[in-house]
Amino acid sequence: MKWFEYGNNLIGPREVSFSVSSIIVGVGILTMPRLIAESTESSDGWISIAIAGAAAVLFGWILAKFCVLLQDRGFYAVAAELVSAPAAAAITVCISLYFMLYCAYEVRAIANISKQYIFDRTPVEYIALAFLLVVAYAVSGSREGIIRLNMLFLPLVIVIALAVLIFSIGIFDYNDLKPFFITDWHGITKGALQTMSSMLGFEAILFYSTMMEKPKKAPQAVVVGLLIPVLFYLVIYMICVGVFTHQALMEITYPVIELAKEAQIPGEFFERFESLFFTIWIMTIFNTACMAFDVTVYALGSILKRVGKMTWILILCPTIYLACMLPRNLNEFEAFGMYMTYFGAVAAVLVPCLLYALAKLRGVKP
């Protein structure tokens, strides 16, 4: 009989799947339907989501196969063996910079949305600072605790999201999805690139895989973790088009929150269901920001092992805060997110995939 099942620092495939899903399902989904609608016609945005999802699953599977080679040595050590220590350090610093910006993006997003829907009289600067301090407190604890927190929060988030979708069926109009297949490939490609910004985050497996009890199961776990948000995005996008129409969807800043506002609760039990939805959604955004911050610390700590975890947190906290305050308006904030996505796609996805190809050519064994 096991009295304390989690009394070790190892994680299994289920924790990996939940962590991958949690870090992807952040603030991106709240704006994703509008961004796709701006690039595509009618309800054809589902094709962009499917393409971006297939690309994410493919690259996630390749990175997870690379993780099988990493074992407990870690990304930096194996990269140094492949391309020399200075080059590996440069790559690892770029990945840590990407995750630091990822955390800053999440913090600023939660501050913007909280001000619009909950704290309308509180400055964005104070909301962002309070949220970042809570995130830093969580990161200062155990890494296993952050990962296992996903096991608690993600089911709640999925349940509340399903409730929004079910209660929206009454105002869903199938005719708003027509006509089909009228968007050209330029629009579909642009929509897929927009969707990719909501699909990234699975690269964290490059560092968390060292904690896996059975690294050989990483590819399967990552694919499962990626399929959950892909299916989730497809359903939410189609419901948003059917409820708001394609033309109106382009004008709504946060369509998913507005969808929660329009949801018809039987008996009018909740007057402001979007507040409950957003409060629950903060859980997954908190997890996303925590893991992005933690991976930044993890990556930098793998290069400079003598620098302690708390030292990195104290250095990174003001840096993240300053970075999240750089965008002055919504347009600059969206541009910040797009540039961060391009940077992350190259530094944390393409470069590690090339390293994996190099490792296979050299016959590197686990």
**What is the pLDDT, as a whole number, of residue 6?**
54
At residue 87, does pLDDT exceed 60? Answer: yes
At residue 1, does pLDDT exceed 60? Answer: no
At residue 320, does pLDDT exceed 70? Answer: yes
Give the span between the Cα atoms of 23 and 106, in whole angstroms. Answer: 11
Q: How many helices (H) and strands (E) does the chain have?
A: 16, 0
Query: pTM for the whole thing?
Result: 0.91
**What is the pLDDT, as a whole number, of residue 204?**
92
At residue 4, does pLDDT exceed 60? Answer: no
Nearest CA among 152, 162, 161 for reference residue 286: 152
At residue 357, does pLDDT exceed 90? Answer: yes
pLDDT band for position 3 (50/70/90)? low
Structure tokens, 365: 């064994």
- What is the average pLDDT across 48-62? 94
Query: How many other CB atoms are found less than 10 A from the CB of residue 305?
Result: 8
CB-based contact 142:290 (threshold 8 Å): no
Residue with tokens 């440069």: 90
Which range among 29-33, 77-81, 232-236 shows the weakest confidence by mean pLDDT? 29-33
Q: At what angle do helices 143-167 and 255-262 cross, to 10 degrees?
A: 50
**What is the pLDDT, as a whole number, of residue 327?**
92
**What is the pLDDT, as a whole number, of residue 7?**
57
Structure tokens, 129: 């600072």
Residue with tokens 């799947």: 17
